[in-house]
């Protein structure tokens, strides 16, 4: 496995592979790998002859009061994990090589980014779209793999790809979870023992909403109230960021669950902000 650190190195290597007829799969990450990242890599490894994994804690998707400096990092361990999953390249650039001091060009999908995570993180998806487009262009990826835990993110990236006619296929993988249902996240290391004990209730409440839909409930407001009541009883250390029911592609809020519907949430627990979602069927 090669470790490349500049955009020029990555672009040159990927051009060489394409000239040889090799297709390229990309897994964009911010590192501190867990089993969810490993699933993305394993799937991507099956999709292309060459696998590029990027490891870049992208500063432009963090707000001024967010955890950029404290975000967990372990590049040596991450490199070993990427190599074990067959990565041909681990791309680990410094921020200065990705953003010039007078960087002024941004990519946005504002209609899809204004709700859910975009409510409390207004610059987040602008940073995500911009860096992901950079990675698509540098790697000339034929396919890129993302996780369903970040549902709004992958929906926004799909729209960006469609609107800009980018020649890359987007694939998503199911959320990987702990045995008690907690979605894996690099930020789970922030949780105290008390917070970790209550955190699985995020998922359990979403499953409760699904059971109500199966019993015939269609009112989005009543489903939301049921989840909030359960969290008030069983997740007292949690602070609600948002809980919404939206169309899974357009992110438009729904009043009734009578077709495709996504219940998505973010809950703050101490230093951690945990997101999860469920497709209500």
- 166 in a labelled binding site: no
- 41 in a labelled binding site: no
- 34 in a labelled binding site: yes
Whether residue 208 lies in the annotated active site = no
Q: Give Cβ neighbours of residue 178 (< 8 Å, ≥ 6 apart).
A: 184, 200
Q: Taking phi first (over 0 means left), then psi (-120 to 50 degrees means alpha), and beta for anything else, what does residue 134 get?
A: alpha
Q: Where are the beta strands (DSSP E) in 125-182?
A: 143-147, 169-173
- 61 in a labelled binding site: yes
Catalytic, out of 18, 37, 43, 247: 37
- 31 in a labelled binding site: yes
- 184 in a labelled binding site: yes
Q: For 25, phi and psi rounded to 5 degrees?
A: -110, 140
Q: Give Cβ neighbours of residue 266 (< 8 Å, ≥ 6 apart).
A: 116, 117, 120, 240, 241, 242, 273, 274, 275
- 139 in a labelled binding site: no
The H or E element containing residue 242 is: strand 239-246
| Residue among 16, 8, 33, 17 at smallest CA distance from 83 | 33
- 37 in a labelled binding site: yes
Q: Kindly report the CA angle at 155 between 11 and 71, in degrees rounded to 5? A: 65
- 150 in a labelled binding site: yes
- 149 in a labelled binding site: yes
- 33 in a labelled binding site: yes
- 120 in a labelled binding site: no
Sequence length of the chain is 281
Q: How far apart are CA 132 and CA 135, in angstroms?
A: 5
- Within 20-116, residue ranges assigned H as helices are 35-45, 75-84, 95-98, 110-113
- 148 in a labelled binding site: yes
Feature table: binding site for (R)-pantoate: 61, 153
Feature table: binding site: 30-37, 61, 147-150, 153, 176, 184-187
Feature table: binding site for ATP: 30-37, 147-150, 176, 184-187
Which residues participate in catalysis according to the annotation? Answer: 37
């Amino acid at each position: 496995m090669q470790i490349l650190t500049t955009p020029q190195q990555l672009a040159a290597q990927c051009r060489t592979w394409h000239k040889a007829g090799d297709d390229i799969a990309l897994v964009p990450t911010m590192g501190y790998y867990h089993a969810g990242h490993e699933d993305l890599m394993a799937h991507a490894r099956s999709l292309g002859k060459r696998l590029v994994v990027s490891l870049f804690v992208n500063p432009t998707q963090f707000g001024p009061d967010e955890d950029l400096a404290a975000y967990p990092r372990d590049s040596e361990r991450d490199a070993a994990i990427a190599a074990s999953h067959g990565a041909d390249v681990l791309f680990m650039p410094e921020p200065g090589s990705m953003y010039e001091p007078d960087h002024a060009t941004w990519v946005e999908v504002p209609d899809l980014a204004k709700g859910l995570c975009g409510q409390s993180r207004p610059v987040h998806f602008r940073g995500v779209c911009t860096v992901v487009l950079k990675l698509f262009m540098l790697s000339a990826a034929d396919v890129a793999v993302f996780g369903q835990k970040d549902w709004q993110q992958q929906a926004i990236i799909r729209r960006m790809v469609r609107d800009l006619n980018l020649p890359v296929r987007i694939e998503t993988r199911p959320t990987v979870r702990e045995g008690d249902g907690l979605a894996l996240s690099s930020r789970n290391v922030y949780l105290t023992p008390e917070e970790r004990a209550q955190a699985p209730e995020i998922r359990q409440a979403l499953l409760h909403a699904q059971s109500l839909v199966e019993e015939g409930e269609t009112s989005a407001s009543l489903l939301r109230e049921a989840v909030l009541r359960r969290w008030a009883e069983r997740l007292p250390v949690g602070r609600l960021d948002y809980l919404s029911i939206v169309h899974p592609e357009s992110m438009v809020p729904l009043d009734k669950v009578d077709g495709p519907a996504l219940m998505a949430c973010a809950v703050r627990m101490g230093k951690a902000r945990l997101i999860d979602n469920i497709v209500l069927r």
